[in-house]
Structure 1
């Protein structure tokens, strides 16, 4: 009996040792995993926030050539297909203009010069602006860095990397350039960067409208509202207006948004104005929520959309001459909303509710008559 107890005790100790080893390995494995994850995260953040100097830049301005009258300005277009741009100002003391990190040149005319941008405090028609403010975005990875060969200064490099979600809601443009630190010569080394607006998009019945030349296709965006997915969110942004203007009570019948004005009760008999709500005053975002019990007996369709505030009423696209004097083509965003018919079970339930209500009223009426 004693021998059996000793054997059992030895076995228990072995199992306890195995379990302890497993716990130690698991903990150390977790620690390793956490460190590895942190390392990956640091690497990812570094890639986003610290763009590297491009080996093959979009433009190179050499100090020996930049005062040449024949040197033509360069134009670079950024879009969802090209999200980065770079400029090398090569040669000793050849610097990027503007000099302040994160600033770019915003002009009211195409012929604005780098020299004017550098001395923008004296200009009425040109200013240096923060790129994040111009694109209405944050955490933009833009960098100005010294070009060196050993200890020798070889100029400066300017690099920009955008994320797709940082593309603006309307087309934007700005410019940068190069100029020697000393000497003050006028320079033709100018790079104009045009940023195409993002596409209008739909995700889970949430619509985000944009107004660039290429933001909207020939066909409207499409949304389906059902009893399970009974909410529509429309975001026109701070620079857009909702169309029709009386969207809370009337709808449009065609994608050109020209036939508008009928009340929603024509297609949604149970409609109430409180189904529409504003997310936040001035945000340009509204929401339509149809109660699950109020869906129609057959599919119904209406159109709603957003248009740039400077584009007037309902144009699908038009050319707008801005205060900058530049002709910019904007486009409007149209959404076709299909409200699906209520399911057979919902209709049956509604009929049962109505019958029960009528029966209850009749019973109550009969009770009152008997009492009288």
Structure 2
């Protein structure tokens, strides 16, 4: 125990020393600011000097919700910042806290899994715990990054990124292995890119779903996994292809899982298509290939498309093996293996400064793990109030159609009206 405390103190000391060395070169920049501005038309606060620009903005969602026999609010608030230093260094992040009444599907799914997609574990603040009532949650998350991009000797396009965020692989509407809408996780990224080629190495840490040895914080009570994945690809304006090889292993365990994915896109005039094929060491010999296919037709103001997903049973890991998951949910498709999902969507956007945005999507979901077999409709109508502030007013509807196929299907609707500022992923 003493050795652990000693190593913990040493780690804290090392972190402090590294922080001083990292930020010391920028201290003169921050002390010698040329200007500080406050605005309601652009960023809330802007610090600007010859070497650095730092912006700070509030993040806010205030939506009134109404469903079948109930009403509630989606109240999310926080702050986000962006920084650029010496043109090579960039940094950013946001801290959000959310109290929200969930839609019928999210209420059902989060009760069954104990997780809120994109956020992770949550606190249930519902007054009634009846499965037929909407779930009300209290949850928070923080994301952030510091990055450098430049050249070393004659090699251009080198980049480095240390962050707590989720990554995206491929060009699909719903990536199968890594999705930027997943719950955030710490990662280290080293890579190189030019106008056509890219190559990246990632080392990440994921939180498991089973309790491990007792630790000093809540998260350390759960098992942890360390993963590495290498990706590379080639793209032009008309087509592209990329591949990813990954491996995850539980800490202090021999359990491991390997994955492989290939993704691509092509564009011909106003038509475009995407695809992704995925397999893993737990599913290749028994299940075969999981896939995602998408097609889209785009004009200046409108676009419409179709998306199809099929995942194999053991894609994200066997029961007694390591899992390709974070915070208790599979990365990519939240319902995991044995999922079949299809949807068609329509988007309309005015190309003017004052933008009107209309979206509608119809789809179906079948999941054996959650005993789902239902259809759903989502739509939203929004008007951009401030482009610089990323603020818009919105009216949206989420309706899950009643189905008699399985007893676990969610059903009902929820309508939301309000303002969203600075938040694109809830």
TM-score by length of 2: 0.22
Answer 1 or 2: which has greater helix percent. Answer: 1
Structure that is richer in strand per residue:
2
- Based on CA coordinates, which of the two structures has the bigger radius of gyration? 1
Where relative contact order (Cα < 8 A, 6+ residues apart) is larger, the structure is: 1
